[in-house]
Amino acid sequence: MEQTILVVEDEKKMARLLQLELEHEGFTVDVKYDGLDALEAFYGNTYQLILLDVMLPSLSGMELLRRIRKQDAHVPVMLLTARDAVPDKVSGFDLGATDYMTKPFEIEELLARIRAHLRHTNTAAEKEPALQVGDLTLDEKTRTVKRGKNELELTPREYDLLLFLMKHEKQVLTRDQLLERVWGFQYAGDTNVVDVYIRYLRKKVDAAARRKLIKTVRGVGYTIKDEEK
C-alpha cells in the first residue's frame, strides 16, 4: 500500500532534503511550509505519518498538533525542533506527539524511527476491525464500503464524508464541522456543498435499503446511526 508522509517545515532547504530522502525510501511526500496550509492538507488527505516542525508561520507546530489530535488519535506525529529543553519535549508529548527529534539530526536515525513507527501503525491497523453502522461497513485498509453484501462505489470525497460520519456514529455534526474536517478551509462558509454530498451519499447508502442510516437533524446538521439496534 502506498504510504504518504506529510512534511511540515518552513526551512525550504531542510524540507527539500527530507522530501528527497523520503522519496528515495519509496514514500510519497507532501510538503507544506506553513501551519495553516498543513492543517488544510491534513483535513483533506490521509497520511500515514507527519513530520512536524515546531516553529511555523501562521499556526505553531504545537497548535497544529493539538488540532490534528482532535481528529486523529493514531497517526504518528514526529516533532522536529531546534529546542532540546525538557519542558518543550514534555509539552509535545502531552499534546500527543509520537516522537521528538532535535535538530541537527542524522537522517539515517530519522528514517529508522519513521520505519519503526510505520511498522507499529500497520500492525495495529491490521488488528483494527472495520467500521460498522447497522449493515453498513467501511474497511479503511482497503477503502471498501458495503451495505449488506453489496459493495458501494464512492468518490474520494463521498468516502471521506462517510468515514467521518461513521467515526462519529450517533454524534450530531454541524455543516461547519463537516466542512472543516472533510473539505478544509477552502470551502469555509459554503455549507451547501455538505447538503449536496449528503444527497449523493444517501442515494448510494440508503436508497435501496429498508433502514435509513443517514439522518438529518433539523436546524443543526447530520448524523449516522442504526435506530433498530
- Give pLDDT tens digits for 102-148: 888 999 999 999 999 988 877 665 556 789 999 999 988 778 899 99
pTM, full prediction: 0.62
Residue 38 clears pLDDT 90, i.e. is over it: yes
More confident residue, 44 or 110: 110
Residue 61 clears pLDDT 80, i.e. is over it: yes
Asked whether the CA dihedral 1, 140, 78, 80 is positive or negative, the reply is: positive
pLDDT attached to residue 185: 55
**149 touches 76 (CB < 8 A):** no
Band the pLDDT of 187: cuts 50, 70, 90.
low
What is the set of domains in the chain, with CATH numbers? Answer: 4-127 (3.40.50.2300), 131-224 (1.10.10.10)
**86 touches 44 (CB < 8 A):** no
Quote the radius of gyration of the chain (alpha carbons, Å): 19
